[in-house]
Amino acid sequence: MSSVLAWSKSVKLPPGKLSRLDEMERSDRRTFQTLANQIGPVFKGTIDGRFAICVVGNKIARRLLSNHSAALKPVTIDVSRLFPGEFMRGMQGEFHKSQRVALIKGLGTVNMDVLKPSMHQIIREHLEAYCKSKSNPARRYDDFYRWSDTLSVITSSMLIQLVLGAKPGSKLLHDLMRLYRELGPNGVAWNVGDKQVDAYQRISDCLTQSPTIEDAKGLITILSNQGQVDANMLGNLIYMVETGRYDMRGLFRWISKYAADNPIWMTRIRTSEPDQRAVVAKAFVQEVLRLDQSERLMREVLDDIVFEGFLFPKGTLLRVCMWEAHKDEQAFEKPFAFRPERFLSEQTFGEGFSPFGLDQHLCPFAVFSINLASIFLMELASGFEISATGGEPSVRGPYHWEPAPDFSARLTQIKNT
């Protein structure tokens, strides 16, 4: 059918065989980059059993997303069982614009200077607890689970405080941490089931009925004071924490691996002057994002479009390959080398570096994500020596590429810090 459509429009489908690209990538992470080098930056295949077209390169991808935004819908979680409207990642049109403007306006008034001390405290306390905990030899991969669980608690606590306003040590934070573990005990649930519906409702009730939420300093209170928290916005805030805490946990795992592999940079962060410490930490975090974690954008083609002389038929699954774009030798010298110094003089996102999106769906939490990751890294560097075992080679997890399952971190607390 796709070939018939292409013929009828006097254009052709992109080159490439209908190979199972997702399976090929699992065995060779450079699959999409190799295909782009062989047959061009636009090519076809199948992903998850669906006809798919892949685009490699930031410039060409920006042009596609800009010129055909109305015909490209983000592929994201269906939250219709949880709250009215859509998850912001999947919204389109004027409603998306208005919700996004409200969210960005609210984020602009969040005072991170007020939140930072408690963020540092959260991280320090849980890293110290990790140092004191003991692994269970009878539990396979116990060190992996201990470190992953520690990072999950840290990221969940930070985001619940930032977005939902729960203060450290409060009953509200304790209740929300428990409920979020029920909402997604093993990662973000892509298919929302009865357990997610029940946990979500209890999180919603916890927030709307809490007598202490009015005194909170989080984003939800700011938006509420601006009259922006309806059922849809509340649902989005709740689920932004849900997806964000797992994405950030994955990022923190990568950060800890690069930290263990590059002790000279940890020493540099630890010994930098206070006004430069955050600069170096942010450069480190951005280089980790360039090398890992930032991987792809997925879109569904809603109507037939023609781009670069190729037909993108309605119903096509579009993959914008970001990991591969961040390995462009024209943008990054020795692109597979870990070089945080790339970002020491440039602390903003540029044409070649877009870890949080390329179009109007650019993550509004982008700057906050880097700031939170930098706080984690500074606390790790200032208070602990880190080493690691395992982690090679990286593997394709449920949502992102990850260090191998045998990866575990070993921390030694630095005295007199």
Neighbouring C-beta atoms of residue 99, cutoff 10 Å? 20
Asked whether the beta carbons of 289 and 255 are under 8 A apart, the reply is: no
Q: pLDDT band at residue 136, thresholds of 50, 70 and 90?
A: low
Does pLDDT of 357 surpass 90? no
Distance spanning both ends of the chain, measured CA to CA: 66
Does pLDDT of 191 surpass 90? no
Q: pLDDT band at residue 361, thresholds of 50, 70 and 90?
A: confident
Q: What is the CA radius of gyration of the chain?
A: 22
Residue 95: which CATH number?
Answer: 1.10.630.10
Scanning the structure block, which residue is given the tokens 């892509």?
Answer: 190
Domain extent at residue 25: 2-413
Higher pLDDT: 90 or 108? It is: 108
**Helix spans in 133-212 (H):** 142-164, 171-183, 194-209
Q: pLDDT band at residue 33, thresholds of 50, 70 and 90?
A: very high
d(CA 233, CA 390): 41
- For residue 393, say if its preceding peptide bond is cis, omega within 30 degrees of 0: yes
Tens of pLDDT, residues 267-292: 999 999 988 999 999 999 999 999 99
Tens of pLDDT, residues 116-125: 999 999 999 9
Q: What is the DSSP letter of 317?
A: E
Q: What is the mean pLDDT of residues 283-311?
A: 95
Tens of pLDDT, residues 236-245: 999 999 999 9
Q: pLDDT band at residue 92, thresholds of 50, 70 and 90?
A: confident
Model-wide pTM > 0.85: yes
Structure token digits, residue 306: 């023609």
Total number of domains in the chain: 1
Non-local CB neighbours of 211 within 8 Å, separated by 6+ positions: none
d(CA 54, CA 38): 13
The distance of Cα 167 from the centroid of its chain, to the nearest Å, equals 24
Residue 400 Rama label (left phi>0; alpha psi -120 to 50; beta):
beta
Does pLDDT of 5 surpass 60? no
Asked whether the beta carbons of 412 and 131 are under 8 A apart, the reply is: yes
